[in-house]
């Protein structure tokens, strides 16, 4: 592949190690990422966006900012998208114009081709800031204080079923990985993800990743099926990286049948919106609001909500699921340390 892209490296970010990628904890990476190395090797960068020929933007914690010195035409950006998706073992073309993959080293790539993206090929890269985060690591970054850390450790040790909520990029996966890394070493953790992102500091971690349909529309293995398969693998902790559809029914059913210590994440902009989001997912799985409420209140012990500000990602609150007087689900804010001591 020719690489006609023009980038102007910032001081101190050039000269990435071609074999290892130059960033601690990120491991080896495909050569196609070399054109993006000035940004990927910057430890402050969490996201990189290429908006066709319109430019490249990077997020260093204060929102996306245009990168000076980047120059690429639409054909070049499309070529980059095809090679990035190919490096992740998947295929993107006009018949399959939207694809999500994980590259070696943990970088997640999402690409969309025209005409789905009318202004040109769109590429989004999520770059892990910590290789295998621990609760100590996150406390050091200011996500929570030491009191909250002790409470989180107690919840994990007590095998509480946890749901981590937050907006995109708020740190849900990062917090979930740290929580699971705190589980006892003798436990078997089975994680199920659409695109495998969870990287744990744990000796017994089995990963399952969903598979998209091939060009003929066959061969898809969805998250809901993987949850059922995981139950046959004798997990001590069953985890769904992100609940976004019918798999929420299988996860809740599993956690209601003796699989303590499980966890998952869900998109929500606030703790008070988690109930509405779960009801929407439950509807996709054929659950009524009342049935969903009963499932969640018996399956989930604590909801942890994370938020992202210009300064940092932080644990913004905790809540307990409860049946409202109407029979629907509601999430009641609670003091995390009090809940952990019960």
| 8 Å CB contact between 241 and 140 | no
Count structural domains, the chain.
2
Domain-ending residue, one of 126, 160, 178: 126
SS3 29: coil
The enclosing domain of 109 has a CATH number of: 3.30.450.370
153 and 298 assigned to the same domain: yes
Residues 292-320, mean pLDDT to the nearest whole number: 91
- Strand-strand pairing, 162-166 and 122-126: unpaired
Preceding peptide of 115 cis, ω within 30°: yes
Domain-ending residue, one of 126, 150, 179: 126
Burial code (b: 16+ CB inside 10 Å, e: under 16) for 20-46 equals ebbbeebbebbebbebbbbbbbbbebb
109 and 146 assigned to the same domain: no
Share of the chain above pLDDT 90, in %: 49
- The Cα 34–Cα 39 span in angstroms is 10
224 and 185 assigned to the same domain: yes
- Residue 240 has a pLDDT of 87
Please say if the pLDDT value at position 326 is more than 70: yes
Domain-ending residue, one of 98, 126, 154: 126
Please say if the pLDDT value at position 289 is more than 60: yes
Alpha helical stretches, state H, 182-288: 223-230, 247-255, 274-284
| 8 Å CB contact between 132 and 201 | yes
69 and 103 assigned to the same domain: yes
Q: Give the pLDDT confidence of 54-80 residue by residue, as tens digits.
A: 899 998 877 788 888 888 889 999 999
Residue 139: domain span = 135-341
Domain membership flag for residue 4: no
Q: Maximum CA pair distance of the chain? A: 64
- The Cα 312–Cα 295 span in angstroms is 34
Domain membership flag for residue 12: no
Alpha helical stretches, state H, the chain: 37-40, 74-87, 135-141, 146-157, 172-181, 223-230, 247-255, 274-284, 289-299, 336-341
The enclosing domain of 259 has a CATH number of: 3.40.50.300
At 106, the pLDDT band (50, 70, 90 cuts) reads confident
| 8 Å CB contact between 85 and 97 | no
At 215, the pLDDT band (50, 70, 90 cuts) reads low
SS3 150: helix
Domain membership flag for residue 148: yes
Domain membership flag for residue 47: yes
């Amino acid at each position: 592949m020719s690489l006609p892209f023009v980038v102007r490296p910032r001081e101190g970010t050039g000269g990435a190690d071609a074999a290892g990628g130059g960033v601690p904890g990120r491991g080896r990476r495909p050569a196609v990422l070399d054109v993006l190395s000035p940004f990927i090797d910057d430890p402050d960068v969490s996201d990189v966006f290429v908006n066709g020929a319109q430019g490249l933007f990077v997020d260093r914690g204060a929102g996306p900012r245009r990168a000076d010195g980047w120059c690429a035409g639409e054909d070049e950006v499309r070529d980059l998208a095809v090679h990035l998706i190919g490096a992740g073992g998947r295929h993107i073309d006009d018949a399959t114009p939207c694809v999500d993959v994980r590259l070696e080293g943990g970088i997640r790539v999402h690409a969309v081709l025209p005409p789905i993206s009318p202004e040109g090929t769109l590429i989004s890269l999520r770059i892990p800031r910590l290789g295998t985060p621990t609760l100590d690591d996150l406390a050091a970054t200011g996500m929570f204080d030491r009191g909250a850390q002790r409470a989180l450790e107690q919840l994990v040790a007590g095998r509480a079923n946890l749901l981590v909520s937050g907006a995109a990029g708020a740190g849900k996966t990062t917090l979930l990985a740290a929580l699971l890394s705190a589980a006892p070493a003798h436990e078997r953790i089975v994680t199920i993800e659409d695109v495998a992102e969870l990287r744990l500091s744990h000796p017994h971690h089995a990963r399952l990743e969903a598979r998209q349909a091939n060009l003929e529309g066959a061969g898809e293995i969805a998250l809901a099926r993987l949850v059922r398969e995981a139950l046959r693998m004798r997990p001590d902790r069953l985890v769904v990286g992100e609940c976004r559809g019918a798999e929420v029914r299988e996860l809740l059913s599993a956690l209601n049948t003796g699989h303590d210590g499980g966890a998952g994440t869900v998109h929500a902009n606030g703790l008070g919106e988690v109930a509405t989001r779960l009801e929407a997912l439950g509807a996709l799985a054929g659950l009524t609001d009342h049935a969903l409420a009963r499932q969640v209140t018996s399956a989930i012990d604590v909801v942890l909500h994370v938020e992202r500000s210009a300064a940092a990602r932080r644990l913004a609150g905790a809540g307990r699921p409860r049946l409202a007087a109407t029979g629907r689900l509601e999430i009641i804010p609670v003091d995390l340390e009090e809940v952990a001591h019960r």
